[in-house]
Chains A and B, each alone.
Chain A
Amino acid sequence: MAESYRRGHPGHALFILPYLTAFVVLLAFPLFWSIWLSLHKVDLFGPGRFVGLTNYTRVLADPVFLQAFRNTILFVALSVPTLVALGLFLALALNRTTRTTSFFRGLFFSSSVLSVTIVTLIWRFVFIPRDGLIPVIFEQLGLQPINFLSTSGWSLFAVGVATVWWCLGLPMMLFLAALQQIPADLYEAAALDNASPWRVLRRITLPSIARTIMLVTIIQIVMQFQLFGQAQLMTNGGPNGTSRPLVMYIYETGFIRWDVGKGAAASELLFLIILCAAMVQYIISTRKPEVRE
């Protein structure tokens, strides 16, 4: 018994078989198949024709792709820091155990459990011209109304606001969990060391949760690069494609114009971009590891 426990038994592999099957069929196989697809001219009605890297050169030369790429980068560059900063701020504010803070923790997290359709519906009510919440407020204040959903520049901003509202719960909870791991006696030592609240935040709290900040940033970069539902449902990528993200470009190319090879090539490029972003974060985070006693 002890022997088999130590050495392992071939039969034990059966226990990971269910997950391994799902992983291979649903993740590994599609990944390689999409690489294969991206090298072929495919239209789903017949066998593909090998075209080498042609799909990639077509994607990179496509102004619509380049616009979607710029939109996505801009979206990630604005939404991720906002999510990290706002999540951290809320976690710091709610990092004590009272009835009120528990209520607000629940409240801020509750948006995360909604589906994207509900979220976009809510925010359409907020932004929709004339009867939406914001136009009403603008009107009350005597300001010139802005059509957030169909004005170039503002439409991506509106998608961003809805996204931050929707995704804020997870960063907040991860930060709260990290803050609660910090030993209380560090703060007591700091109190005896005459540290101001600002010095405590900068020299004790933030360094203690540095790794979690990095983790949340990576998770959010990976997630926000995959923006699709909110843009699709709130602005449909408009006006003029100014709020069209990469995933929407892939969807339109592959499933509306049925240029599957080109869509697959674009998704490989997105995969590479996310991989690079995650790797950069990972390298930075492992170079300056968080130190725990």
Chain B
Amino acid sequence: MSASIEIANVTKRYGTLTVLDDISLSISPSEFVVFLGPSGCGKSTLLRMIAGLEDVTEGMISVGGQRVDTLPPGKRGVAMVFQSYALYPHMTVHENMSFGLENIGVAKKEIEKRIRLAAETLEIAHLLDRKPQKLSGGQRQRAAIGRAIVKEPKAFLFDEPLSNLDAALRGRTRLELAQLHARLGSTMIFVTHDQVEAMTLADRIVVMHNRKIEQIGTPMEIYHHPATRFVAGFVGSPAMNFIPVQRITQNENGTAVDAAGIGNLDTAIRLPTAFSSQSATLGIRAEDISVLSPGQSGVPLIAEVVERLGDRTLIYGRLSDGTKLTVEADGRNEASAGDRLEIALDASAIHLFDADGMAHHPEGE
């Protein structure tokens, strides 16, 4: 019930407009992979191409070792949960679940067995006789997942299935999806633009941007070793700080970076000799910057906005040269807007990005 998925050199064009450019990706059986990216990056298109709802312009898609991109959607052995759920409005939940099985001639007894099992798993047994319009958002969600489960597909495809739920329900459903994946052990692909969903659900995240895959990696790899400046800025909240680099000096321990408004920092980053400081950027996450206690001296920062989130405090300020910087302090920090603070940057958590946005990280991490 779980299969590998192989995407080889897939390109999608609408006329002269290219929406996916030479995408290759291997997904192992039972893996939970999340396609993460901003709107219009092509992630949903890629999912729909796997489902068979969009044609493949070039390249090949295989599910469980069998080439599927020439097959109609129903013959690919995948099940999809749509963003809008796409439940058949005039059928009951039971009929919604049985429809696909009846179409391929599954025996009545078997259909009933599968529906009963799925309904128990999803706790929707009491809703089977209701029509979608009589269900709440969360219940519709479960019905849509149930319709996918009964097909016992080789892979599940989720197209932003949590985006229509309110925040509390989204958190709960996310947890249940993770449990469902653990229980079924199926291959799952999940499309979202929500990095929290991606970080919490994924075995591996595929970050997509501008028709291409930016990075494939585990959530921690993506977070701590972003491959590009785009990934670094897209994943993580608040977004990573980027500071223009003025001068770079390579030494035997790594690189000394002179960044605008910060001064010199010794890092353990080893750069290729061809690296140019021209248009290079230093990246550091808000949590890797600390506010020094009064009396200590560091890099001066003028606080402009202070957000208190209870467990932590976000300070949005400006460095002496006007560069914007976000700092994460603990929840008890008493800074307020207009204050002049002294801050320190954790040199071991610094990333350098070249003019093309390619990232370089400290060694030994």
Contact = CB atoms under 8 A, between A and B. Distances in A.
B93 to A, nearest CB: 13
A189 B132 contact: no
Contacts of B72: 191
Interface string A35-65: 0000000000000000000000000000000
Nearest to A186: B86
Contacts of B78: 192
A290 B91 CA distance: 11
B80 A194 contact: no
B133 interface: yes
B89 interface: yes
Given A188-B73, A191-B73, A196 B86 contact: no
B275 interface: no
A291 B73 contact: no
B13 interface: no
A192 B133 contact: no
Contacts of A208: 89-90
Interface in A191-235: 191-196, 199, 203-204, 207-208, 210
Residue among A188, A193, A196 with the highest chain B CB neighbour number at 10 A: A193
Contact of A186 (B80, B88, B151): B88
Interface residues of B, number: 28
A194 B86 contact: no
B133 A203 contact: no
B170 interface: no
A293 interface: yes
A199 B147 CA distance: 17
Contact of A192 (B79, B85, B87, B132): B79
Nearest to A188: B53
Interface string B75-107: 100111010111111110000000110011000
Contacts of A9: none
Interface in A256-293: 290-293
Given A188-B73, A188-B82, A193 B103 contact: yes
Interface in B106-154: 131-133, 147, 151
B294 to A, nearest CB: 54
Interface residues on A, range: 20 to 34
A155 to B, nearest CB: 43
Given A183-B86, A204-B88, A194 B100 contact: yes
A3 interface: no
B74 interface: yes
B74 A192 contact: yes
A183 B90 contact: no
Contact of B103 (A183, A194, A290, A293): A194
A291 B86 contact: no
Contact of B90 (A193, A199, A207): A207
B55 to A, nearest CB: 13
A194 B71 CA distance: 12
Interface of A: 183, 185-186, 188-196, 199, 203-204, 207-208, 210, 290-293
Interface of B: 51-53, 72-75, 78-80, 82, 84-91, 99-100, 103-104, 131-133, 147, 151
25 contacts: A185-B82, A185-B86, A186-B86, A188-B51, A188-B86, A192-B78, A192-B79, A193-B99, A193-B100, A194-B100, A194-B104, A195-B74, A195-B99, A195-B103, A196-B103, A199-B103, A203-B88, A203-B91, A203-B99, A291-B89, A292-B133, A293-B85, A293-B89, A293-B132, A293-B133
Instruction: State the 7 A-B residue pairs at the shortest beta-carbon distance, nearest first.
Output: A194-B74, A193-B100, A185-B86, A207-B90, A189-B86, A194-B103, A293-B89
